[in-house]
């Protein structure tokens, strides 16, 4: 009899043990974490479905972003969407603060080839790129780790290096999970309240960074999914 297939679990090395941006900025700078990352997040059928829904939302945003040829995938992590972008005909620069994640991204199928313009180790707070370097900055599964003030500084950096478009994944408040976690957290009966934005807070952050929101795409079922993919351009 063959051994049962290992399922992603709470003790996997790439499952963060703490919340907060400072911790998350350093957590992925580890070979063990980079090695385990795709298995933990995308190996089960349910997680693959979530992945497909996210990709569909990104494609909807890309379909509206006219004139895009070059994309900065930041942070690219292990390259979850890098190959998909090149297959759609875009030229991609992958970037991440973690060399370990970048190495992994470059090693997977679709992680190299003529449409990959290179990989750059960078901190999203101060990008080592000239202004107007690319047509679009795409940032997925990242901003929810970052505090609001730093998020605005990052959005300004994205707006500086992008000639026009930004596609940014945000997490919002309008879910049953948020209401429950927030209520129990405030009562001291559970983990700290999740950092999630209202529509008004989202608009204020983008306006503070000089960006105009063109579309907010819901990734999945209302009240259950907290994911928005936001298409914005320089105002």
Q: Which residues bind ligand SAM (CB under 6 A)?
A: 24-25, 28, 75-77, 80, 96-98, 101, 123-125, 140-142
> Are the beta carbons of 6 and 36 closer than 8 angstroms?
no
Contact predicate 58/229, CB 8 Å = yes
CB nearer to ligand SAM: pick between 153 and 164: 153
Contact indicator for 193, 186 with CB cutoff of 8 Å = yes
Helix axes 45-64, 31-42, angle to 10 degrees: 90
- Give the shortest CB-102-to-ligand SAM separation in angstroms: 8
CB of 150 to ligand SAM, least distance (A): 8
Q: Decide whether 58 or 197 has the Cβ nearer to ligand SAM.
A: 58
Q: Whose Cβ is closer to ligand SAM: residue 76's or residue 159's? A: 76
Q: Residue 140 or 213: which CB sits closer to ligand SAM?
A: 140
**In angstroms, what is the minimal distance from the CB of 120 to ligand SAM?**
10
Within 10 angstroms of residue 118's Cβ, the number of other Cβ atoms is: 10
Instruction: Tell me which residue has its CB nearest to ligand SAM.
Output: 77
Q: Which is nearer to ligand SAM, 54 or 172 (CB)?
A: 54
Q: How far is the CB of 53 from ligand SAM (least distance, A)?
A: 13
Nearest to 118 by CA among 146, 76, 150: 76
For residue 141, the minimal CB distance to ligand SAM (Å) is 4
Which of residues 75 and 83 has its CB atom nearest to ligand SAM in the complex? Answer: 75
* Count of CB atoms situated within 10 Å of the CB of 145: 20
The CB density around residue 67, as the number of other CB atoms within 10 Å, is 9
* φ/ψ (deg, to 5) at 65: -85, 95
Minimum CB distance to ligand SAM, residue 86 (Å): 15
**DSSP letters of 49-69?**
HHHHHHHHHHHHHHHHSTT--
C-alpha angle with apex 218: 9 to 182, nearest 5 degrees? 60
Q: Could you tell me how many residues make up the chain?
A: 235
């Amino acid at each position: 009899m063959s051994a049962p297939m290992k399922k992603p679990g709470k003790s996997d090395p790439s499952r963060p043990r703490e919340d907060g941006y400072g911790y998350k900025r350093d957590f992925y700078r580890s070979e063990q974490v980079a090695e385990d990352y795709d298995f933990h997040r995308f190996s089960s059928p349910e997680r693959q479905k979530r992945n497909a829904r996210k990709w569909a939302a990104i494609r909807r945003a890309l379909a509206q972003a006219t004139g895009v040829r070059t994309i900065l995938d930041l942070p690219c992590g292990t390259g979850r969407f890098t190959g998909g972008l090149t297959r759609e005909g875009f030229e991609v620069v992958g970037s991440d603060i973690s060399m370990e994640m970048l190495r992994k991204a470059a090693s997977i199928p679709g992680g190299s080839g003529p449409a990959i313009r290179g990989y750059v180790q960078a901190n999203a707070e101060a990008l080592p790129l000239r202004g107007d370097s690319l047509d679009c900055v795409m940032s997925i599964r990242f901003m929810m780790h970052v505090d609001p003030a730093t998020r605005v500084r990052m959005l300004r950096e994205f707006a500086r290096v992008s000639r026009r478009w930004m596609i940014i994944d945000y997490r919002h408040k309008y879910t049953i999970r948020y209401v429950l976690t927030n209520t129990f957290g405030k009562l001291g009966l559970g983990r700290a309240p999740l950092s999630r934005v209202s529509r008004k807070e989202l608009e204020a952050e983008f306006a503070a960074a000089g960006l105009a929101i063109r579309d907010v795409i819901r990734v999945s079922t209302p009240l259950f999914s907290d994911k928005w993919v936001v298409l914005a351009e320089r105002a």
